[in-house]
């Protein structure tokens, strides 16, 4: 039942995008998103689409996986497009069908907003498809580390996220195991009144919580036994390496941002 749930949506691979430093991917994505809506100049839009297509092709992510991750957002984009088509009254009348009138402004606005939304979410998807959750947290931790000056517990937060990520599959496995054990004892999740079905959660929920608390305590003991103290002065086993490629990516994105500002101003 639960075997199809993957954590995040990371797809193992060794493409250029997989090998990029998570920091450059995160910063690059942030700049890309911020400036995507700054200009409507055709040249800029072509560059944005170009970057998106280039990123996609270089990621070697199979098309099916990409579209799977876009399914939900696809619906929202489609609705946006429809709303723009029917509600926007700018420009010339393109065609009329009974009481529905479609204006050219609606079409261009719809395509513009829908297209940009698609690219925006697509890029974010590509990031999570090619970056392991651990790399993402590591990247976020370093990027947010300046906040330590204001006593924000960056390391602790990142560590909590990593632990949560680490134990997520364990939790799913455990849920599946307990569910099976209770099913073997005749618990049924597929028939009975709605109230009866809600009540069937209890035999799964109680053992799951008990086990999780136990595991958390064991983990705490194990960490203390090995002298874990956290944050200050702690080195990392997994090092992040900033390579020439990362600088290149950031340069391209910066150039794109500058182009966006220029086309907006001119």
Nearer to another protein, 164 or 181 (CB): 181
Site for another protein in 206-265 (CB under 8 A): 206-207, 210-211
Site for another protein in 184-213 (CB under 8 A): 184-188, 190-191, 202-203, 205-207, 210-211
**Contact yes or no for 106/90 (Cβ under 8 A):** yes
CB of 12 to another protein, least distance (A): 9
Residue of 43, 53, 181, 220 interacting with another protein (CB under 8 A):
181
CB of 189 to another protein, least distance (A): 8
CB of 211 to another protein, least distance (A): 6
Residue of 145, 162, 182, 263 interacting with another protein (CB under 8 A):
182
Residue of 83, 165, 172, 178 interacting with another protein (CB under 8 A):
178
In the complex, the residues that contact another protein under the rule CB under 8 A are: 3-4, 177-178, 180-188, 190-191, 202-203, 205-207, 210-211
């Amino acid at each position: 039942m639960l075997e199809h749930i993957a954590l995040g949506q990371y797809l193992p691979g060794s493409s250029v995008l997989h090998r990029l430093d998570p920091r450059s991917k995160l910063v690059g994505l942030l700049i890309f998103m911020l400036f995507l809506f700054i200009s409507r100049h055709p040249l800029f839009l072509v560059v944005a689409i170009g970057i998106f297509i280039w990123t996609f092709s270089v990621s070697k992510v199979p098309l099916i996986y990409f579209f799977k991750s876009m399914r939900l957002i696809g619906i929202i984009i489609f609705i946006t497009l429809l709303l723009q088509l029917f509600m926007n009254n700018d420009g010339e009348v393109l065609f009329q069908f009974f009481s529905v009138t479609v204006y050219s402004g609606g079409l261009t606005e719809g395509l513009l907003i829908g297209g940009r939304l698609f690219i925006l979410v697509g890029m974010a998807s590509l990031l999570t498809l090619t970056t392991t959750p651990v790399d993402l947290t590591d990247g976020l931790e370093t990027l947010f580390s300046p906040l330590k000056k204001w006593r924000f517990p960056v390391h602790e937060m990142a560590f909590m996220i990593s632990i949560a990520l680490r134990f997520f599959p364990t939790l799913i496995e455990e849920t599946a195991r307990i569910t099976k054990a209770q099913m073997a004892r005749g618990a049924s999740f597929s028939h009975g009144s709605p109230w009866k079905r809600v009540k069937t959660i209890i035999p799964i929920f109680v053992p799951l919580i008990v086990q999780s608390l136990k595991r958390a305590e064991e983990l705490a003991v194990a960490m203390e036994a090995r002298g874990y103290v956290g944050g200050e002065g702690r080195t990392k086993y997994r090092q992040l390496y900033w390579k020439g490629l990362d600088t290149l990516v950031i340069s391209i994105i910066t150039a794109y941002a500058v182009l966006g500002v220029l086309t907006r101003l001119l």
